[in-house]
Structure 1
Amino acid sequence: MPFSAARCLVLLFLLNVVDAGRLLTKIKERVRHVQLQKAKQHLLTSAASGRQPLQHVKEGRIHQKLDHFNRQDVRTFPQRFFVNEAYWQSPDGPVFLFIGGEGPIYEFDVLAGHHVDMAEQHGALLLVLEHRFYGNSINPDGLKTENLQDLSSQQA
């Protein structure tokens, strides 16, 4: 069966889409790696200057509703978060909420980055919340396709 020009173009297009997906995944991984390295460097610099930023970081979990739109559904999942009180001017200082993306959160997310610099400048409490169904904030029923109905932008 000979390949027509149209079939070749479709095949090339599909190969390009698949390759672009792999490339985007590699870029995302590299950006996250660079972010973590910068956070580690910031942490080491802070520790060397006598500050102990890790003392102010707490990890926790809240029992988040799986379905915010169905009052009869009482199911929950443990949503992970980190809090950094190092710069907070309690009780009236602002709260900066950093919502995690499509991946796990780390305590470094409240230790370094532009949002941390702004928190220090404004006396803010830092809170990073892991996105539902990513990292350790997984639905107790698992990640089977039939259980992903609550993974939507509306529920998030």
Structure 2
Amino acid sequence: MLVASSHLLVLILLLNCVDAGQVLRKIKARARDLQLQKAKQHLLAQAVSGQQPLQHVKEGQIHQPLDHFNRQDVSTFPQRFFVNDAYWQRPDGPVFLFIGGEGPIYEFDVLAGHHVDMAEEHRALLLAVEHRFYGDSINPDETISDNGRVWEDKLLID
């Protein structure tokens, strides 16, 4: 009887973990949607007041090594980034780096949010870098798994 009860408890815990993962993914997606909505509203408010915040945003790519641990492999992938210099106190103001999470980055990532408010307060240059397996920063051969990790020679590389 005790063994059956413990098996039932383990099953319930496993089901709870699966459900929790789905709930967390939904929360993450909703939080990202709210962040984008707030950024759009902020951008519209600035445009209405005569400011042109998009003129300060530049998009670029830097070619990063595909394998940082193998100096013989010179393969690279383009990693996308955005720069907002609207608040920057040139030439020696601070630089704030916003590192993208598990999803693409957008111009809005350097136009609104707490980090943008802080950049304005501290007269900082604001950079947003996209994660290497999301958005436009996917490896050229597109060898990615469902969870964003690279498959190489049948070995999973983080």
**Residues 1:125 and 2:125 are matched in the alignment:** yes
- Distance in 1 between the 2:140 and 2:27 partners? 30
TM-score (norm 2): 0.87
SS class of match (2:26):
helix
Please state how far the C-alpha of 1:111 moved relative to its aligned partner: 0.1
- Distance in 1 between the 2:151 and 2:34 partners? 35
- Distance in 2 between the 1:96 and 1:5 partners? 53
Q: Percent of aligned pairs with the same residue?
A: 74
SS class of match (1:146):
strand
**Residues 1:75 and 2:63 are matched in the alignment:** no
Q: Structure 1 stretch 7-16 or stretch 58-67: which is displaced more?
A: 7-16
1:26 corresponds to which residue?
26
**Residues 1:106 and 2:102 are matched in the alignment:** no
Alignment RMSD: 1.6
Task: Give the residue type in structure 2 aligned to 1:146.
Answer: W
Please state how far the C-alpha of 1:122 moved relative to its aligned partner: 1.9
Q: How many residues align?
A: 148
- Distance in 2 between the 1:133 and 1:73 partners? 19
Task: Give the residue type in structure 1 aligned to 2:85.
Answer: E
Superposed CA deviations along residues 106-154 of structure 1, whole A, max 9, x for unmatched, are: 11000001111111122211110011112221111221452352x3xxx
1:94 corresponds to which residue?
94
Task: Give the residue type in structure 1 aligned to 2:151.
Answer: E
Query: Which runs of structure 1 show a deviation greater than 3 angstroms over 4 or more consecutive aligned residues?
Result: none
Please state how far the C-alpha of 1:73 moved relative to its aligned partner: 1.4
Please state how far the C-alpha of 1:41 moved relative to its aligned partner: 1.2
What aligned pairs does 1:127-142 form with structure 2 within 5 A after superposition?
127-142=127-142
Q: Which blocks of at least 5 consecutive residues in structure 1 are unaligned?
A: 152-156
Match of 1:146 among 145, 151, 156: 151
SS class of match (1:50):
coil
Q: With CA pairs under 8 Å and 6+ residues apart, which has the higher RCO, 1 or 2?
A: 1
- Distance in 2 between the 1:32 and 1:91 partners? 33
TM-score (norm 1): 0.88
SS class of match (1:4):
helix
Task: Give the residue type in structure 2 aligned to 1:24.
Answer: L
SS class of match (1:79):
strand
